[in-house]
Amino acid sequence: MKTIILAEKPSVARDIADVLGQFKRNQGYLENSYYIVTWAIGHLAELANSEDYHPGLKSWSRETLPIIPDQFVLRAAERTKNHWKVVKSILKGKHKEIINACDAGREGQLIFNYIYLLSKCKLPVRRLWLSETTPAAIQKAFEKLEDETKYYFLGLAAMARAQADWLVGINGTRAYTLAHKEPKEKGALSIGRVQTPALALVVERERQIRNFEPETWWEVTAAFETDSGTAYRGKWVDDNKNQRIKDESRAADIVARVKHCRGKVAEETERQEVKPPPHLVSLGDLQKQANNIFGYNAAQTLEIAQSLYERHRLITYPRTDSRHLTVDIGYTLSNRLQTLAGHYGDLVEKIIKNPVPAQGVIDDTKVSDHHAIIPTEYARSITKLTPDEYKIYDLVARNFIAGFYPPAVINHKNIITQVAEEHFITSGKTIEQVGWLQVFNTDGFESEAECGLPTELKEGIEVTAVNAASKHCKSQPPRRYTDAKLISALENASRYVDEETLKQALKKSKGVGTPATRAAIIERLITSGYIIRQGKYFVPTPKGEKVIGLVPEELRSIKLTGEWEQKLNEIELGRGNPAAFMKGIHQLIGMLVDTAFNGEREEI
């Protein structure tokens, strides 16, 4: 009898087969004397549609809501039904065991569990946990196969969350569409547990901009010159180092009194800043950097990273929220640097003899499903990459290399020039030790620019204010969200809740959504007509603003996700009760439907 290996994607299945030996290619699977390797193509099995429970639910009506199945059922995804027949046939055959090689994490576990349950497979299961698909990594993972029961509670939590999201999505979308959509408008009013709070962030920022009342003030700058001709500029400050002057006449008086007056450098202060190397990147970090530097949206970066992982095998698993590495990966760092030496020769040459990663990078306790994104040991020429692929790979590689460099040391110097009993501050900085900054000292990256002060400017030296001027200033409204800022807001959702237990739950879950879903959430808001891209910024549409005005606080607030994550985490640890969690969801759904129909009708 043979062992079945079920991967999540065809490319991973092929990589596994390449390691395990000669395989014959068949329609939908690979086979040799010992193994049958097949794949899922994502969610091959999924939660059934509402009409699958009862034909009458295909029509939308108030009388059918809320829709709460007594027991959830699964169905084969319509788009991959033909492949499902192949996989089901394999799983129903007489075989030794099945190895779950779906992506390592909650979603990958859910994909496997659904397939296993829908096929009514009874084979014993072992788990293959992969963070990269290089031959060496696959071989090592096969040497450490684990019993699937270790991931039982992870699977329970994944299914509970999927069912809860299904209930909120189906009932919320139908209720608000029936209650508020204008009859002539096509499509539904999409409602979701994650997308609605994300939309609320964009709408709230727009309201802040719309209601913003600028604050005005004046600033005074002066041009100084030493007796030897050294010129520099300073900005007026009060005794508390505040640069804002509320009264225009006060600013004009300062200008008049200091212009052409003699003064002196009254104070000189220095401080040293030690900047540690940047942390390794999670998917969110990579998306934010790519958006800020190259203008890529979150979905583009994820797609490119997937290609670098699956097709080129040049980076490790990208859908991770970790910035750290495990001890096991720590033993491979020298080999990874050697692989990079061919393209990053000078940068790698300086550290290859004694490659010590930055303190705290290797920490098993801070790695959940997958470690940070780093280059693989696969020595494939990066010249085959497209320009976009190269840019993302280069980001991953430089962040990785920078982690082996010493901190940058920057000296900051301030002087206070006193003229006519007024004080002006002048600041400068010099780089004492370039450290890791040299890794990013290339085109396309923002460098740390030096702006040192003239060495002549010492305390006590006399100067002349050769000119002075005031400037009328006003505060600016908060900026709209970009991909980078919205992803950051979703990652750091804990800042939007006050209750400490929920704050901690959101910190543990690392925000709203997952690294794999945040890009899709943003794109769904666009396709639903709730937000648009205006340049690099997101702007809510009137439709999006109306939706947020209609849904209850419980659904638009990030607090709901915090409560869910708190309970799902308990289930994942084996301490929570899935039935109790779902009972609370049923109560939420009842309230959600009632709110949709009981409020004043507003057509969208």
What CA–CA distance (Å, rounded) separates 222 from 220?
Answer: 7
Whether 430 and 455 have beta carbons less than 8 Å apart is answered as no
Residue 291: name the closest of 520, 482, 521, 512 by CA: 482
Catalytic residue chosen out of the listed positions 116, 176, 296, 317: 317
Q: Which residues pair with 268 in a beta bridge?
A: 415
Q: Which residues pair with 411 in a beta bridge?
A: 272, 430
What CA–CA distance (Å, rounded) separates 101 from 420?
Answer: 76
Rg for the chain, CA atoms, rounded: 30
Q: Which tokens hold the place of 387?
A: 């320009």
Whether 400 and 375 have beta carbons less than 8 Å apart is answered as yes
What CA–CA distance (Å, rounded) separates 326 from 576?
Answer: 28
Query: Phi/psi at 205 (nearest 5 deg)?
Result: -65, -40
Q: Which tokens hold the place of 394?
A: 């280069």
Helices 518-527 and 483-491 cross at an angle (nearest 10°) of 120
What CA–CA distance (Å, rounded) separates 149 from 47?
Answer: 23
Indicate the SS3 state at residue 409.
strand
Element (H, E) at 248: helix 248-258
Indicate the SS3 state at residue 113.
helix
For residues 538, 544, 547, 551, the Cα torsion angle rounded to the nearest 10 degrees is 0
Count how many Cα atoms sit within 13 Å of the Cα of residue 370 in the half-sphere of its side chain. 28
Q: Does the annotation count 317 as an active-site position? A: yes
Question: 77 exposed, middle or buried (CB, 10 Å; 0-12, 13-18, 19+)?
Answer: middle
Catalytic residues, by residue number, are 317
